[in-house]
């Protein structure tokens, strides 16, 4: 027996949804699209919807024809009247003005982009909201009235990020918001460097979290083990040398409720995901499934699990680590510093064909209010005040402070009495230049320290390297990196109390890969007394 259905994940599933392919699934298999994992719509329901869509427009078409005829008669009667010309000018002025369009994935449109657009409207434009309107499954617009009585709209286009970059090449007054960085092949299509600070802007951070049932004795997992589990090379819990039995049942949320599905593949560089072993369901269903099933494992976006689980939910979040590095539990601090292995950045991309409205929107998103909006949706904004909210211990850290247990005595003496900010400074690949996030974070830090309440605070910088080269060389190199950050801070008027290098000490990622080594090349920023 088979079931027939249609995938409606338009724009994200070109071979099935976009082609309206009828998909047959065995009755004992999960009723999801084999290409994108989206839950299918039964064929009977789909055909019923089509009939309704065909019947619905007829009354409106007739009404529209009558309106057109009447309008034509009125216009022909008054065509020589100056009064009608003035009225026509007024009608023209009332046409909604498109300020700009935002291209993004469906999951980000719902969870982040819409709230940012509303925040921009109310906080920055001081406009009056009219409402949202869905033009088609891939296009939704917000209508509003500006203070000068101009009616305007902002359009949100939902597409796969790959298609979004293609669209952006020739687009005007459009921007793209993505949960991944532009890729090398996509970069070649643009006539300018889309990774330059004017075109690539980090607007927040998020992460993938790994959840298991509370009965499971496992508390931490390596990224390599997780990759083997999803590729089918590890299928039972006992293969992890655990006193725990049962086949590992895997869950990921569907693409509409989470970005986990598409983001997960970017972290698995060596083995493809075995989709036949993964069940795709809604995020709330997944939480319940993991809570009910002792042998299950689920992947979810940090925003969907950042609120504490209810007391009756039998679920725990695992700490993750990379080879040779400490294990980190996902929280606002470890995601902000990018120590947590499955942390990722949220990017905004804009071409040189943009308007002042787009620049105003970018300014809002990076502002204190904009970053509060990012954080309020469960993502990680760039609020430095979080550094003063108390300790955020990680696995391998003492309860009550942020100093890892494997830190050297020299490192401990450097940071005693200081407070670490919730971000690290990193560099452009193969360069001593700060990356785009670092440039913005330094300006944000300067603004924070310029406030009267922080007038007695200075900055301590500690640089780190990968493990390439001997220890003496790495100490010097890490000091140079920290000094380059100090120079940037001093240009912003920030007092740098002390600069130090720790070499290859305390790696946060594996030094076996280029991506891991790049992550280890960083500078920690600590707040301390000016007379440190």
* Percentage of residues of the chain with pLDDT beyond 90: 59
User: Residue 205 in contact with residue 370, Cβ under 8 Å?
Assistant: no
The secondary structure element, H or E, covering residue 229 is: helix 223-231
User: Residue 378 in contact with residue 302, Cβ under 8 Å?
Assistant: yes
Q: 27 or 463, which is more confident?
A: 463
- Rounded to whole angstroms, what are the CA distances from 54 to 49, 61, 67, 272? 9, 12, 21, 42
pLDDT confidence of 97, banded at 50, 70, 90? Answer: very high
**94 has a pLDDT exceeding 80:** no
The secondary structure element, H or E, covering residue 298 is: strand 296-301
Q: What is the mean pLDDT of residues 503-516?
A: 91
SS3 label, residue 101:
strand
CA–CA separation, 290 and 369 (whole Å): 36
Looking at residue 404, the DSSP 8-state letter turns out to be B
pLDDT confidence of 31, banded at 50, 70, 90? Answer: confident
**Chain center to CA of 375:** 11
CA–CA separation, 279 and 250 (whole Å): 6
Q: What is the mean pLDDT of residues 133-149?
A: 94
Residue with tokens 């974070």: 441
Q: What is the pLDDT of residues 466-501, one digit of tens each?
A: 999 899 999 999 999 999 999 999 999 898 999 999
Q: Which CATH architecture has domain 383-529?
A: 2-Layer Sandwich (3.30)
Q: What is the pLDDT of residues 203-249, one digit of tens each?
A: 999 999 999 999 999 999 999 999 999 999 999 999 999 888 899 99
Short-list 399, 401, 380, 377, CA closest to 336: 380
Residues 6 or more apart from 508 whose CB is under 8 A from it? 322, 325, 326, 328, 337, 338, 339, 519, 520, 522
Query: What pLDDT is recorded for position 284?
Result: 86
pLDDT confidence of 63, banded at 50, 70, 90? Answer: low
Least confidently predicted of 42-46, 237-241, 333-337, 391-395: 391-395
Q: What is the pLDDT of residues 255-282, one digit of tens each?
A: 776 676 667 777 776 678 888 999 998 8
User: Residue 328 in contact with residue 319, Cβ under 8 Å?
Assistant: yes
**Chain center to CA of 506:** 27
pLDDT confidence of 86, banded at 50, 70, 90? Answer: very low
Q: Where are the domains of the chain?
A: 2-55, 57-92, 96-199, 214-330, 383-529
Q: How many other CB atoms are there within 10 angstroms of residue 353's CB atom?
A: 13
Q: What is the mean pLDDT of residues 293-309?
A: 85
In this structure, the dihedral spanned by the alpha carbons of residues 439, 481, 421 and 412, taken in order and rounded to 10 degrees, is 180
Q: What is the 3-state secondary structure (H, E, C) of 316-384?
A: EECEEECCCCCCECCCHHHHHCCCCCCEEEEEEEECCCCCHHHHHHHHHHHCHHHHHHHHHCCCECCCH
Name the fold adopted by 214-330: D-Maltodextrin-Binding Protein; domain 2 (3.40.190)
Looking at residue 277, the DSSP 8-state letter turns out to be G
Query: What pLDDT is recorded for position 42?
Result: 81
* Percentage of residues of the chain with pLDDT beyond 70: 82
Q: What is the DSSP string of 174-233?
A: EEEEESSPPPHHHHTTSSS-TTSTTTEEEEEEEEEEEEEETT----EEEHHHHHHHHHTS
Q: What is the mean pLDDT of residues 381-389?
A: 61
pLDDT confidence of 75, banded at 50, 70, 90? Answer: very low
pLDDT confidence of 397, banded at 50, 70, 90? Answer: very low
Q: 365 or 70, which is more confident?
A: 365
CA–CA separation, 501 and 497 (whole Å): 14
Q: What is the mean pLDDT of residues 305-325?
A: 78
The secondary structure element, H or E, covering residue 457 is: strand 457-464
pTM: 0.79
Mean pLDDT of the chain: 84
Burial of 102 (0-12, 13-18, 19+ CB in 10 A): buried
Q: What is the mean pLDDT of residues 176-181?
A: 94
Q: What is the 3-state secondary structure (H, E, C) of 142-159?
A: EEEECCCCCEEEEEEEEC
Q: How many other CB atoms are there within 10 angstroms of residue 440's CB atom?
A: 18
CA–CA separation, 260 and 53 (whole Å): 32
């Amino acid at each position: 027996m088979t079931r027939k259905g249609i995938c409606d994940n338009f724009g994200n599933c070109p071979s099935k949804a976009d082609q309206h392919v009828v998909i047959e699934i065995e009755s004992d298999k999960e009723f999801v699209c084999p290409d994108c994992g989206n839950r299918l719509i039964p064929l009977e329901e789909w055909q019923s919807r089509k009939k309704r869509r065909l019947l619905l427009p007829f009354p409106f078409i007739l009404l529209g024809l009558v309106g057109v005829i009447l309008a034509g008669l009125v216009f022909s009667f008054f065509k020589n009247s100056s009064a009608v010309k003035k009225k026509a000018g007024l009608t023209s002025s009332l046409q909604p003005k498109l300020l700009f369009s935002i291209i993004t994935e469906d999951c980000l449109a719902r969870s982040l982009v819409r709230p940012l657009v509303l925040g921009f409207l109310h906080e920055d434009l001081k406009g009056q909201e009219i409402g949202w309107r869905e033009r088609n499954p891939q296009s939704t617009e917000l209508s509003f009235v500006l203070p000068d009585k101009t009616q305007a709209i902002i359009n949100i286009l939902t597409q796969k990020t790959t298609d979004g970059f293609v669209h952006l090449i020739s687009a005007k007054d459009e921007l793209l918001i993505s949960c991944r960085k532009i890729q090398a092949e996509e970069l070649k299509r643009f006539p300018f460097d889309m990774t330059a600070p004017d075109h690539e802007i980090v607007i927040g951070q998020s992460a993938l979290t790994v959840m298991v049932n509370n009965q499971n004795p496992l508390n931490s997992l390596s990224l390599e083990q997780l990759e083997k589990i999803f590729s089918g090379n590890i299928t039972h819990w006992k293969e992890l040398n655990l006193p725990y039995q049962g086949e590992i049942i895997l869950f990921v949320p569907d693409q509409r409720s989470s970005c986990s599905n598409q983001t997960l593949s970017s972290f698995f560089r060596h083995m493809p995901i075995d989709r036949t072993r993964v069940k795709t369901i809604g995020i709330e269903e997944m939480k319940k499934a993991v809570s009910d099933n002792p042998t299950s494992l689920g992947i979810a976006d940090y925003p969907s699990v950042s609120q504490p689980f209810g007391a009756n939910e039998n679920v725990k979040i695992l700490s993750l680590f990379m080879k040779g590095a400490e294990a980190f539990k996902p929280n606002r601090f470890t995601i902000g510093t990018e120590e947590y292995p499955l942390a990722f950045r949220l990017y905004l991309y804009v071409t040189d064909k943009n308007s002042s409205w787009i620049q105003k929107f970018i300014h809002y998103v990076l502002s204190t209010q904009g970053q509060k909006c990012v954080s309020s949706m469960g993502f990680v904004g760039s609020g430095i005040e979080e550094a003063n909210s108390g300790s955020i211990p990680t696995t391998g850290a003492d309860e009550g402070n942020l100093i890892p247990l494997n830190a050297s005595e020299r490192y401990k003496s450097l940071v005693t009495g200081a407070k670490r900010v919730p971000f690290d400074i990193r560099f452009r690949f193969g360069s001593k230049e700060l990356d785009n996030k670092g440039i913005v974070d330094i300006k944000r830090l300067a603004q924070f320290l310029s406030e009267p309440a922080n007038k007695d605070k200075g900055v301590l910088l500690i640089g780190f390297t990968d493990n390439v080269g001997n220890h003496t060389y790495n100490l010097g190199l890490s000091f140079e990196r920290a000094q380059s950050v100090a120079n940037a801070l001093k240009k912003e008027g920030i007092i740098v109390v002390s600069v130090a290098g720790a070499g290859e000490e305390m790696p946060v990622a594996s030094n076996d890969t280029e991506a891991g080594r790049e992550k280890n090349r960083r500078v920690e920023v600590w707040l301390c007394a000016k007379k440190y």
